[in-house]
Structure 1
């Protein structure tokens, strides 16, 4: 009789040095794979927060072994976390080279916001006539929460409420497009934080934009909702670019804004 499943399992020093009794399934099972994925996502989230908060500033060298020791995990979830951070554009990691936190890139910002304008105007237009009273109430609650948190040190909570507000506003599109929008939104978070730090007035301006979007959705007005979201996204991009690289010409952002029928910011 195989009694391995009845025996407690210990984490080795490689996995963080802790002794922890678990009931993990045998190696190679779907449950173990899911657990490994959750751990990698947790590590990714912790590193991502460190980058976005400035605890790991641009140019910082990242060694997988060192970060694994610091966070108390093995190299396997750390490799996956590095891969996810690279996909998000937060780190540069080449084979046989030390990974580094990537500096804010005006071309990257311009491309991300050009794409966001195109996709979110489409999604908001499709969502405008399908929202229920409950949906609108949820958006209003998220907006109230954002206003309460604006400008204080609870940025993570503000961004959680902000994501929920935008998620509901774009929810009518299919799952693949939702994933694309969510990915671009995650990628844009560092630029939103730069706007909040570099342009103090951006808090009030963003709140006004969000109020206008909610009102357009309440009125079932897809054209106005699309105009509001396009101008809102473009304003964030242009404000950050004015501070980050004033000489850069944001062709993607301005072209997307023109296509969305908004002229110029």
Structure 2
């Protein structure tokens, strides 16, 4: 996705000099953008052959793109069924953010003491971009800045945990977007959490940074769940929060 313009990239046509892998990634980014912006609605069928024709590519890169989307939790597909855009599932939201609370707070604790002034200034710059873009039309640029903000305070972890965190962040983006649509003022409340996290990191306080981050994720998850499934009991999110903050509320 072209993060600077907020638009999805054009897919290279079949037969272009780009490698098959690059073409598959282009297709993946285009389909991912269509799902995140609602062009492909939750529950809708996504036929591989039709999408390949629509994007002007062969079935091979399309299959790889579908595999990546399935790994990200954006589509569901079985050998005997057509692929569908996954619906918004309360249990999925709960478990995803419960896992993110546990793993990302671990990563922040590992990273806090290693952060330099330059790292913290980059976080501040990302936060300023988020503020400038908040409420505007360039939603993709906001999410690019948001991703950068959250990546820096976890950057000291090893490759295995880094991959897990990246996967959770990718899967979370869809729900962050839904939360922004359904909860007016969520960006402002999110800014407060980001500011508190940055302050804790500047103070070199890993325990405080972890508590702030856990509360930040929990507020987002619980707000979305209250909106889409008020009867659902978010055990994973609440358990993750209690584990990190010692039973304190949000």
Question: TM-score scaled by structure 2?
Answer: 0.92
Partner of 2:84, secondary structure, is: strand
Structure 1 counterpart of 2:38: 54
Q: For 1:63 and 1:99, how far apart are their aligned partners in 2?
A: 7
Deviation at 1:106, TM superposition (A): 0.6
Unaligned 5+ segments in structure 1 are 1-14, 25-34
Within the candidate set 93, 96, 100, 2:77 is matched to: 93
2:154 aligns with one of 148, 159, 170:
170
SS of the equivalent of 1:62 reads coil
1:128 aligns with 2:112: yes
Which one has a bigger Cα radius of gyration? 1
SS in 1 for 2:245: coil
Counterparts of residues 225-244 of structure 1 (less than 5 Å): 225-244=209-228
Q: 2:249 matched to 1:264?
A: yes
Match of 1:29 in 2: none
User: Does residue 77 of structure 2 align to residue 113 of structure 1?
Assistant: no
Report the equivalent of 1:153. Answer: 137
Which segments of structure 1 move beyond 2 Å, counting only runs of 4 or more?
none
Output one character per residue of 1:169-221: Cα deviation in whole Å (capped at 9) or x when no partner. 11111111111001000000010001100011110000111011011101101
| Structure 1 residue corresponding to 2:86, chosen from 78, 99, 102 | 102
Aligned Cα RMSD in Å? Answer: 1.4
Q: Matches of 1:92 and 1:177 in 2, distance apart?
A: 25
The CA deviation at 1:19 is: 7.2
Deviation per CA, 1:97-151: give whole Å up to 9, x if none.
2111110111111111000000111111111111111101111110000000011
Where structure 2 has 5 or more consecutive residues not aligned to the other structure, the ranges are: 1-11
Which of 71, 75, 83 matches 2:59?
75
Distance 1:238 1:40 in 2: 35
Matched, 1:187 2:171: yes
For residues 140 and 19 of structure 1, the distance between their equivalents in structure 2, rounded to whole angstroms, comes to 43
Match of 2:114, SS state, is: coil
